[in-house]
Amino acid sequence: MIYGLIVLLFSAIFAKAFHVQILEADFLQSEGNKRQIRSLEIPAPRGEIYDRNGKVLALSTPIDSIWVDPKILSFYLDPAQQQAQLLKENLTTQQVAKRKALIDAKYLAYQQMLKLLNVSEETFTRQVLAKKNRRFMYVERGVLPELSAQIEDLDVPGLYVQNQYKRYYPAGEVVGHLIGFTNIDDTGIAGIEKTYDDWLSGHAGKKQIIKDRAGRVIEFVKDIEPAEPGQPLVLSIDEDLQFFLYHALKKAFIRHQAQSIMSVILDAQTGEVLAMVSLPGFNPNDRSQLTGNRLRNRVIADRIEPGSTVKPFIVAKALDLGVLHLDDEIDTRPGSLRIQGQRITDTRNHGVITPGEVIKLSSNVGASKIAFKMTPQQEWQMYHDVGFGQDLGLFLPGETLGFIRPATEWQKIDQASASFGYGFNINLMQLAQAYLIFANEGKIKPVSLLKLNKVPEGTQVVSKESAQAVLGMMEKVAARKGTAPQANIEGYRVAGKTGTVHRTKIGGYEQNKYISLFAGIVPVSNPKYIMVTAINEPSRGIYYGGKVAAPVFHEVMQEALRLNNIPPDEVLEEGAP
């Protein structure tokens, strides 16, 4: 009987062992792994952003986030929980003393952690206790790895460190509007960072780990999926030119006490954007600055009436149609013109002038009379062909297209107003792109924020002869008796056009608030740069484009020509020193 019982007992043990180790081995192993083995996400850095010369404009740096499990941590912060647990365990006096000493040590570590992170103990403790049934709560994000290592060594109950990456912009405010920034989760939400977020974003990897009961990682098992960094991006921007433009605009912004100021520089041959600045600006490395109007990239987001900067297009179109000739005489006397009850005026009576003098002297009356040689549809078509009111293809967030009414809705006063840049609006980048026709023998080219490998072909808008003739006329603008002599650069031929427009308001125009503009091309013999600048509401009593915006062109282009060793092209007259 005893022998039989022993056999039955061992048979039962063997049967159970067989059931556990053979029949349910996979299930039990899986359940065990669920309690010990975890998948840890390996963060991936975003791709770097470079300028055209390989200088870093944006990169990802390692950063950590500190979080806690309130359900675990709350026990060490709540005396009531501690007392209830001690009573439940029915410990001896000595065991209670040891347990309380451990709790006190953990609480001290908790206090040290908050002190290192500069977090209010009273406030944070109240938040943890209020969420004591939850399993996740951030303490601080964006913590340097050196500091997070110190905090991890404190061994605070329920505390974890999450490895991440943070975007850093070496040039700071200089490239703020252009590059944009990412949010706290490293997702692009402005500028280039948003436009090319899919390209720049990395793909997080996964690693298998084993954790103990306290949730600490005690062993790495294997890599499940490697992290893939984001793709790098090479922009058309020249950081040196961006730097010169930013500092020149900053000085002009302060000097003229303007509301805002913006400028863009294009490669005159390729249409690449070499620099783009808008002020007031912001430093993308300082999250306290990422609010309000300062985030507007005004170069593409602000609608402006271009004013007299469009007169060269009117003259070019009229020449191209054959309704105007270089030696035609245009009577602007007595310096004003009345159309449908509206009075159009010049700064003074220029008398009888040529088309070139209409541009040089910036005559509104002359521009209107030239426009009347065309049909409204022909004038509108010129503006359409150079890209006014159309998508630039840059896909930057916040871009506005501007608005120009169909020619079928124009009255005679609308045609006249449009000839000197009133009655419609565009953004500054559209104006800069339009000036490409004068640098490319009448061809318009797309603008690009990415470095190009070849020069775009372009689309013919006006004839080569018309474009070159108007380019020569604009050269007189920067001459001694033109409207922008301060744009002149010694040793170089400069072509340009000024513009001074009243600020718009609901139902009309502000009487004493202006936008000052200057668009320039240099050097004329072989155009390299196009630069367009707009200064909004200069308030020091000077507001003409030739006095306010043209000097900025001179300052920046002088540095750009020197920096890139562009040879002088000005031919001195015989006998000149």
DSSP H or E segment with residue 320: helix 311-321
Active-site residue identified among 236, 308, 363, 516: 308
Radius of gyration for the alpha carbons in the chain, expressed in angstroms and rounded = 35
Q: What beta strand segments (E) does 327-460 contain?
A: 330-331, 336-339, 342-345, 352-353, 443-444, 459-460
Place of tokens 């793909």: 203
Neighbour-count burial for 222-241, b at 16+ CB within 10 Å, e otherwise: eeeeebebbeebebbbbbbb
* Cβ atoms within 10 Å of 4's Cβ, excluding its own: 8
Q: Which residues contact 69 (CB under 8 A, 6 or more apart)?
A: 135, 136, 137, 158, 159, 160, 215
Q: Kindly state the helix (H) or strand (E) to which residue 220 belongs, with its residue range.
A: strand 217-225
- Exposure letters 28-57 (e unless 16+ CB within 10 A, then b): eeeeeeeeeeeebebbbbbbbbbbbeeeeb
- 334: cis peptide before it, omega within 30°? yes
Residue 482 and residue 208: Cα distance in Å, rounded?
73
Query: To which residue do tokens 């984001």 refer?
Result: 230
Q: What's the first-to-final CA gap in the chain, in angstroms?
A: 132
Q: Which two tokens stand for residue 181?
A: 């920034």
Directed axis angle between helix 70-77 and helix 79-89, to 10°?
Answer: 90
Active site residue 308: yes
Q: Please report which helix (H) or strand (E) contains residue 274, including its range.
A: strand 273-279
Rounded to whole angstroms, how far apart are CA atoms 63 and 208?
21
Cα angle 27, 30, 31; round to 5: 85
564 — phi, psi (to 5°)?
Answer: -100, 10
| Residues marked as catalytic | 308
